[in-house]
Amino acid sequence: MNGSVALTPEQETLLIPLVAKARQDAWSDPILPDETAAQVLRGLGRTVPTLPVLRGDAFGLALRARQLDQWTTAFLMRQPAATVLHLGCGLDGRIDRVRPSPQVRWFDLDLPEVIALRRAVYPRTEGPGYQMIGAPVTNGQWLAQVPTDLPTLIVAEGLLMYLPEADVRQLVIRLSETFSSGELLLDALSPLGTRLGAWHPALRASGARLRWSLRDPRQLMAWAPHMTLLEHVGLLDLPGFARLRSLERLAWRTVRRIPTLREFHQLLRYRLS
């Protein structure tokens, strides 16, 4: 593509994780090798990001994605023939990082305009094992396009916190009732995390708004009794932050000593059964 692609304020948020992953991929020892991120940026005609992405953000976003990638890989090792449903995929290249077997059917879903953009700049083409779906995640009609005959892994990264709680609840219930076997992976902010996130430079520049927060991971099981919490980990507890520079590392250690700050961002894994 020639020139820079124009993005709406909402679409600008897609650049936050994309730029962060592309930046850290260029490090001599990246946390999350992700060549696709740089390819997509070039496809967008972007060499200098329009959104501020701090070094600490690059660490955090890469560590979050790496943990979800590891859970995805572990699931596919246990279930070689499976379906993966990546909600709010944006311009992320998880399928290229995970490299699933030909027995896996992978679906990337996002808003129609985002999928149109993804089809224009994403290096992977659609086929029998890979399909993009353009639809609002809160509109359950798109579920008819996803088969339910195999164990299903659902990944919702950096998505649910932008939805109203009523929409998150409806989505969780709908997913638990549709897929009777598999897992749901997601990340969630605490109420304090939502308030702090509203002041993030990149979010403020894009005009995006954080809406949903989670106090207790068991809340989702109250909504959907067939779900079971298998694992949850705080973002700040993921290995890798020790590689930060001295002042950044000091700030990370200080924040981890305060429980309300330490739990501001959680990664969660649930069983669907």
Q: What would the pLDDT profile of 191-231 be if each residue is shown by its tens digit?
A: 988 988 877 777 777 677 899 999 999 999 999 999 999 99
pTM: 0.90
CATH assignment at residue 229: 3.40.50.150
Choose among 70, 67, 71, 64: nearest CA to 265.
64
- The reply to whether 41 falls in a domain is no
| Mean confidence (pLDDT) of the chain | 88
Per-residue confidence (pLDDT) for residue 56, from 0 to 100? 67
Number of other CB atoms surrounding residue 167 within 10 Å: 16
**For the chain, how big is the Rg over CA atoms in Å?**
18
Token pair, residue 157, equals 């990264």
- The reply to whether 225 falls in a domain is yes
- The angle formed by the CA atoms of residues 107, 214 and 220, to the nearest 5 degrees, is 60
The residue range of the domain holding 250 is 55-272
- The reply to whether 5 falls in a domain is no
- The reply to whether 247 falls in a domain is yes
At residue 1, does pLDDT exceed 70?
Answer: no
- The reply to whether 38 falls in a domain is no
Per-residue confidence (pLDDT) for residue 153, from 0 to 100? 98
Q: What string of H, E and C letters represents the secondary structure of the chain?
A: CCCCCCCCHHHHCCHHHHHHHHHHHCCCCCCCCCHHHHHHHHHCCCCCCCCCCCHHHHHHHHHHHHHHHHHHHHHHHHCCCCEEEEECCCCCCHHHHHCCCCCCEEEEEECHHHHHHHHHHCCCCCECCEEEEECCCCCHHHHHHCCCCCCEEEEECCCHHHCCHHHHHHHHHHHHHHCCCEEEEEEEECHHHHHHHCCCHHHHHHCCCCCCCCCCCCHHHHHCCCEEEEEEEEHHHCCCHHHCCHHHHHHHHHHHCCHHHHCCEEEEEEEEC
Q: How many domains does the chain have?
A: 1
- Stronger pLDDT, 184 or 5, i.e. the higher one: 184
At residue 2, does pLDDT exceed 50?
Answer: no
- The reply to whether 195 falls in a domain is yes
Q: Binning pLDDT at 50, 70 and 90, where does residue 52 land?
A: low
Per-residue confidence (pLDDT) for residue 259, from 0 to 100? 77
Distance (Å, whole) CA 51 – CA 236: 23
- The reply to whether 26 falls in a domain is no
- The reply to whether 184 falls in a domain is yes
Q: Read off the pLDDT of residues 55-72 as tens digits, 9 standing for 90 and up.
A: 667 788 999 999 999 999
Q: In this prediction, what percent of the chain has a pLDDT beyond 90?
A: 58
Mean pLDDT of 125-142: 94
Q: Read off the pLDDT of residues 159-199 as tens digits, 9 standing for 90 and up.
A: 999 999 999 999 999 999 999 999 999 999 999 889 888 77
